[in-house]
Chain A
Amino acid sequence: MNEGKSRNYARAANLIMRNPLTVFGLAIIVVLFLLALFAPYIAPYPEQGQGLSNLQERLRPPSLIHPLGTDNLGRDLLSRIIYGARVSLKAAIIVVLIVIGFGAPLGLIAGYFGGKTDELIMRFADMILAFPSLLLAIAIVASTGPSLLNALVAISVPWWPWYTRLVRGQVISLKEMQFVESARALGASKLRIMFRHILPNCLSPIIVQGTLDMGYIILCLASLGFLGLGTQPPTADWGVMVNDGRAFLLTQWWISTFPGAAIFVTVLAFNLVGDGLREALDPKIRWRFQRA
């Protein structure tokens, strides 16, 4: 029997697919990724999506030519939203990778070594968590200057301690397991035990949290964009677009509403998938799942 590993994944996939809400969320995410990847081929007006203004067609309501209408510079909103997906998804993936890459190893070290190392790392993490995260991010961007790169860093700074906490908790219970002691008895190095034995067993909650956070990070990024502290025009960004339409909300409602809806649907989709993953990967809930 050679298919042990793939059979395992197949079982997890099966569990995920049994939940219609998760499938729905997954479908939205797949569509979003396709839109982002193939934006130049899908968007009806790619150059407008990238920022070219078209002042003759300012503030047009949704129609056959412009399915979601145009904004105050005459740009096709559908194209802008599709290009905005590019920015949001790319940024969210980068932030998630930064926070996991930074937070998880710290949690691993804190949990495994314990004692003073643990105190030092966790008190530092607590200190950062004590700030409201968005406020801290705004403060960081405000002091470094508004740009997408600075916004990514600013969101990552208050975010990594969540992963440190998550991983540390897992590590503390895992390091007492017999297979860890068994590795010690073999003479395995600390690094090997940490990265080969403990970390792989923490992966499920990290993946779940990472998926859920994709949505929150997109929301956070849109907030920064809305305040003018994130992506800078003319690059399309959902938060910036919501802000652009603010002045016209009563008369040209579509300018703010459609990008807002895009944010809403995206965050919802990542939440649905995150919850579905949690149910499939958490053995305690999985038990209930199988009996049902």
Chain B
Amino acid sequence: MEGTLLTVRDLVTAFPLKRRGLFEKRRYLYAVNGVSFDLREGETLGLVGESGCGKTTTGRSILRLIEPFSGKVLFDGVDVATLGANGLKAFRRSAQMIFQDPFASLNPRMTVGEIIEEPLIVHNLYKRKGERKEVVASALRRVGLEPDYMYRFPHEFSGGQRQRIGIARVLTLNPKLIVADEPVSALDVSIQAQIINLMIKLQEELNISYLFISHDLAVVEHISTRVAIMYLGKIVEIARAEGIYNNAQHPYTKALLSAIPVPDPRSGIKAHVLRGDLPNPVDPPSGCAFRTRCPVAETVCSRQTPELKQVEPEHLVACHAL
């Protein structure tokens, strides 16, 4: 296995809430509450959870698009939190992000060429316009689009094509890490597979590591080397993809897996259906956050927060029932 590219330890990101009274203590919403994981070079970590569980905030905190509250993010051995303006800019050259909504993430007033060229201008990479144009053309070809598209505007393209444009834009910087925040959830199913296959191809060619954020286990299965399941700001289970899909241990993971639709009308509906909604993250349940919806919850679950324990090599689970 290659070296570790990204190390995240006890990452906490909190948003201050509006004070309701003058004397009320300021309260915080802990969107990310002690997340730790490693990402190796050239691998993909799938980060899965319901909406509101903090997976997007995790990705954005790692890139310092939001300032984390506490915890450590080491990228290539460098602590990201301590970077000054210049260091941060250099970090952003090698750690990039692909966004969820391909309709909102491209500036409607810029041509596709200007959009893809922008990273080169920001990082002062190619001085001459002609050189930059060549880079743009090759980036477009790399993601399977015509170089001529650089003269058009984003609104002339379909969702899948726009997502390819977004990928081409970050590729110009040759990043080592790409945080992909639900890159396919806004696309049609048939297009989703195309984009994921493109991402896998690029990973093989350029040795990029992905942090692939998604709410859909079925999507993540195809691309991930390892998968982490998040619930209410915490990772509840993390393992190699086979470990999650064939040998899930945490009751939440089991429930998520059983919710993947099976394309067979005779298979029937499986039992593990979760009741209730995600608890209010402002006021999370004591102990194990999942206990309010857990089919196997016991009294210990309300008193003690479960830690991640190794159940087999490279397979960690946070549950008292094990």
Residues of chain A whose beta carbon lies under 8 Å from any beta carbon of chain B: 1-2, 4-5, 8, 177-179, 181-189, 192, 197, 200-201, 203
User: B105 an interface residue at 8 Å Cβ cutoff?
Assistant: yes
Q: Are the CB atoms of B97 and A185 closer together than 8 Å? A: yes
User: B287 an interface residue at 8 Å Cβ cutoff?
Assistant: no
Residues of B within 8 A of A178 (CB): 99-101, 104-105
Chain B residues touching A, majority SS: loop
Chain A residues touching B, majority SS: helix
At the interface with chain A, which of B106-114, B214-222, B235-243, B314-322? B106-114
- A197, B109: Cα distance in complex, Å: 8
Residues of A within 8 A of B122 (CB): 186-189, 192
Residues of B within 8 A of A200 (CB): 107, 109-110
At the interface with chain A, which of B12-20, B145-153, B304-312? B145-153
Quick one: CB contact mask for B141-166 with A, threshold 8 Å, 1 for yes?
00000001001110010000000001
Q: Are the CB atoms of B65 and A181 closer together than 8 Å? A: yes
Residues of B within 8 A of A201 (CB): 107-109
User: What is the minimal beta-carbon distance from B80 to any residue of chain A, in angstroms?
Assistant: 13
Q: Which residue of A lies closest to B93 (CB)?
A: A187
User: B88 an interface residue at 8 Å Cβ cutoff?
Assistant: yes
Would you list the 10 A-B pairs with minimal beta carbon distance, nearest first?
Answer: A187-B92, A178-B105, A178-B104, A200-B109, A4-B152, A187-B89, A179-B107, A185-B97, A188-B122, A178-B99
Q: Which residue of B lies closest to A185 (CB)?
A: B97
Q: Which residue of B lies closest to A2 (CB)?
A: B151
Q: Are the CB atoms of A4 and B151 closer together than 8 Å? A: yes
Q: Are the CB atoms of A4 and B111 closer together than 8 Å? A: yes
A186-B122, A187-B119, A201-B108 known; 8 new pairs, CB 8 Å cut-off, are A4-B151, A178-B99, A185-B65, A186-B92, A186-B96, A187-B93, A200-B107, A200-B109
Q: Which residue of A lies closest to B120 (CB)?
A: A186
User: What is the minimal beta-carbon distance from A205 to any residue of chain B, in angstroms?
Assistant: 14
- A272, B114: Cα distance in complex, Å: 35
Q: Are the CB atoms of B109 and A1 closer together than 8 Å? A: no
User: B208 an interface residue at 8 Å Cβ cutoff?
Assistant: no
Q: Which residue of A lies closest to B104 (CB)?
A: A178
Our pick among A8, A177, A184, A203 for the contact of B104 (Cβ within 8 Å) is A177
Q: Given A2-B151, A201-B108, verify A182-B92 contact (CB < 8 Å).
A: no
User: B123 an interface residue at 8 Å Cβ cutoff?
Assistant: yes
- A164, B212: Cα distance in complex, Å: 41
Among the interface residues B100, B104, B109, B148, which one has the most CB atoms of the partner chain A within 10 A? B109
Q: Are the CB atoms of A179 and B65 closer together than 8 Å? A: no
The 19 sampled A-B contact pairs (Cβ below 8 Å) are A1-B151, A2-B151, A8-B153, A178-B104, A179-B106, A181-B65, A181-B105, A182-B106, A184-B65, A185-B92, A186-B92, A186-B118, A186-B122, A186-B123, A187-B88, A187-B123, A188-B118, A189-B122, A201-B108
Residues of B within 8 A of A182 (CB): 97, 99, 105-106, 166, 169
User: B63 an interface residue at 8 Å Cβ cutoff?
Assistant: yes
Quick one: CB contact mask for B120-149 with A, threshold 8 Å, 1 for yes?
001100000000000000000000000010
Q: Which residue of B lies closest to A200 (CB)?
A: B109
Residues of A within 8 A of B173 (CB): 186
Quick one: CB contact mask for B163-182 with A, threshold 8 Å, 1 for yes?
00010010001000000000
Q: Are the CB atoms of A1 and B152 closer together than 8 Å? A: yes
Q: Which residue of A lies closest to B106 (CB)?
A: A179
Residues of A within 8 A of B111 (CB): 4-5
Q: Are the CB atoms of B96 and A185 closer together than 8 Å? A: yes
Q: Which residue of A lies closest to B90 (CB)?
A: A187
Q: Are the CB atoms of A183 and B118 closer together than 8 Å? A: yes
Q: Which residue of A lies closest to B123 (CB)?
A: A187
User: What is the minimal beta-carbon distance from A83 to any residue of chain B, in angstroms?
Assistant: 40
Residues of A within 8 A of B63 (CB): 185
Q: Are the CB atoms of B156 and A4 closer together than 8 Å? A: yes
- A186, B123: Cα distance in complex, Å: 9
Q: Which residue of B lies closest to A189 (CB)?
A: B122
Q: Which residue of A lies closest to B101 (CB)?
A: A178
Q: Are the CB atoms of A197 and B107 closer together than 8 Å? A: yes
- A2, B63: Cα distance in complex, Å: 36
User: What is the minimal beta-carbon distance from B139 to any residue of chain A, in angstroms?
Assistant: 14
- A182, B122: Cα distance in complex, Å: 12
User: What is the minimal beta-carbon distance from B89 to any residue of chain A, in angstroms?
Assistant: 4
Q: Which residue of A lies closest to B102 (CB)?
A: A178
Q: Are the CB atoms of A179 and B151 closer together than 8 Å? A: no
Q: Which residue of B lies closest to A176 (CB)?
A: B104
- A65, B148: Cα distance in complex, Å: 63
Q: Are the CB atoms of B153 and A4 closer together than 8 Å? A: yes
Q: Which residue of B lies closest to A179 (CB)?
A: B107
Our pick among B88, B97, B104, B148 for the contact of A179 (Cβ within 8 Å) is B104
Residues of B within 8 A of A189 (CB): 122
User: What is the minimal beta-carbon distance from A14 to any residue of chain B, in angstroms?
Assistant: 16
- A2, B166: Cα distance in complex, Å: 21
Q: Which residue of B lies closest to A198 (CB)?
A: B107
- A214, B92: Cα distance in complex, Å: 45
- A183, B117: Cα distance in complex, Å: 12
Q: Are the CB atoms of A181 and B109 closer together than 8 Å? A: no
- A278, B155: Cα distance in complex, Å: 20
Q: Are the CB atoms of A186 and B151 closer together than 8 Å? A: no
Residues of A within 8 A of B108 (CB): 179, 201
Among the interface residues A185, A192, A197, which one has the most CB atoms of the partner chain B within 10 A? A185
Residues of B within 8 A of A4 (CB): 111, 151-153, 156
